[in-house]
């Protein structure tokens, strides 16, 4: 992987790890405080169920991007192992198709993002575009991660890593 690809890949990984740590910590803290309040004071925080709902999609998408970086997402290893020398071409072409599909999903999510900006959550009044934005950003990051991995796939390194992990 060239230095630019490595830097972009590392920045995406850092961002996704940060999102995971923050969202998991905040959701755990909010839910814990709400449980204590419920049992001790017989009350709860009104927004305590809404914030985890807003954070959950970000947590999931960050995990999906990290899984794609580590080759832990869905892979058809059995079929590609039987291809022999053509494997490199098939995997590279498949990666380009995947990039196009991710970018197509991001393009399709943009109008939904704009529409959802007008909707507000009932208690906290957070725009609906916050949740849709994670999909949009996640699809773009998945396309970038796949492009960063393309040289490894072409050299046959990424496939060997996936096979070794399985």
**What are the helix (H) ranges across the chain?**
3-40, 50-69, 77-81, 87-116, 129-155, 157-165
How many Cα neighbours within 13 Å face the side chain of 126?
Answer: 14
Characterize 120-140 residue by residue with b for buried, 16 or more Cβ atoms within 10 angstroms of its Cβ, and e for exposed.
ebeeeebbbbbbbbbbbbbbb
Residue 161 is assigned to a structural domain of this protein: no
CB burial of 64-91 (b: ≥16 within 10 Å; e: otherwise) equals: bbbebbebeeebeeeebeeeeeebbeeb
d(CA 166, CA 94): 20
* Structural domain range at position 72: 3-155
Residue 165 lies in a domain: no
Is 122 a domain residue? yes
Q: Is residue 42 part of a domain?
A: yes
pLDDT digits (tens, 9 = 90+) for 113-148: 999 989 998 888 999 899 899 999 999 999 999 998
Count of domains forming the chain = 1
pTM for the full model? 0.80
pLDDT tens digits along 22-64 = 999 999 999 999 999 989 988 888 888 888 889 999 999 999 9
């Amino acid at each position: 992987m060239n230095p630019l690809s490595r830097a972009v890949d590392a920045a995406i990984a850092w961002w996704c790890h940060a999102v995971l740590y923050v969202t998991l910590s905040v959701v755990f803290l909010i839910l814990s405080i709400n449980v204590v309040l419920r049992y001790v004071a017989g009350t709860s925080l009104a927004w305590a169920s809404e914030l985890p709902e807003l954070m959950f999609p970000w947590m999931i998408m960050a995990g999906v991007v990290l899984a794609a970086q580590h080759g832990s997402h869905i892979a058809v290893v059995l079929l590609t192992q039987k291809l022999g020398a053509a494997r490199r071409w098939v995997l590279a072409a498949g990666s380009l198709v995947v990039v196009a599909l991710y970018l197509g999903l991001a393009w399709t999510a943009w109008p939904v993002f704009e529409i959802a900006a007008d909707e507000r959550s009932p208690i906290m009044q957070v725009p609906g575009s916050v949740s849709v934005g994670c999909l949009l950003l996640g699809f773009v990051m998945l396309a970038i991660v796949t492009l960063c991995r393309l040289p490894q796939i072409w050299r046959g390194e990424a496939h060997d890593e996936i096979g070794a992990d399985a």
